[in-house]
Structure 1
């Protein structure tokens, strides 16, 4: 059986960007995260200690988002590393990080970086 834990539409304020004003003023970011993780034991036990606790995952993501970076690629890489170090049983997944209102003269919802493994 294939299973995953997903975090959808996590909105956080952070200070990422190439331009200094972005790191000073900050912006709203949104994340979608899918972590392929075996949940069979938790399906039987009904015990949160037998699964990947998504509240803990959100806190790890929040901690990494609090560290200003120039590139979203760097942020996504840190989030991936932190999550897979905490839960070595993660067998794959994806992380999409969207910057809302980027400083680009265009009518767009945002710009994003996505990794899948």
Structure 2
């Protein structure tokens, strides 16, 4: 087994419950971690034997472009799509952080992290 991590995927997206968040948007950071079997790819040196992190990045960017009120909803979409499109993933953990959220206080980020294993 092994782990593939994509750290700090940056997007400008339009998530949030406030009307203004849907209009002006905000900066986001996404971390993604997948568990998969890396044994074959470590021997073959062939992309077809591993999880393509370019595809993982594309899934994140495309799902972040779809507006949601809650970060939980975005995270679940990323997880569901990744498991559907990449059968070799057996566990995925995803965190989405809204940077400088519009809340009363000096808060660097708010984050939602979820993990799911394949049934």
TM-score normalized by the length of structure 2? 0.94
- Secondary structure (helix, strand or coil) at the match of 1:108 reads coil
1:43 is displaced (CA, Å) by 0.3
Deviations 1:75-110 (A, max 9, x none): 001000110001122111311100001111211111
C-alpha separation between the residues in 1 aligned to 2:56 and 2:92?
13
Deviation digits for residues 38-91 of structure 1 (CA, Å, limit 9, x no counterpart): 111110111111110101110011110010110000000100011000112211
Instruction: Indicate the residue corresponding to 1:57 in structure 2.
Output: 56
**Could you say what secondary structure the match of 1:70 adopts?**
coil
* Kept after mapping to 1: 8 A contact 2:51/2:88: no
Structure 1 match to 2:97: 98
Q: Unaligned stretches of 5+ in structure 1?
A: none
Partner SS, residue 55 of structure 1: helix
Structure 1 residue 17 corresponds to structure 2 residue 16: yes
Which structure 2 residues correspond to residues 1-117 of structure 1 after superposition, within 5 A? 2-117=1-116
Gaps (5+ residues) in structure 2?
none
Alignment: residue pair count: 116
Instruction: Give the Cα separation in 2 of the matches to 1:37 and 1:31.
Output: 20
Tell me the SS of whatever aligns to 1:75: helix
- RMSD of aligned C-alpha atoms? 0.8
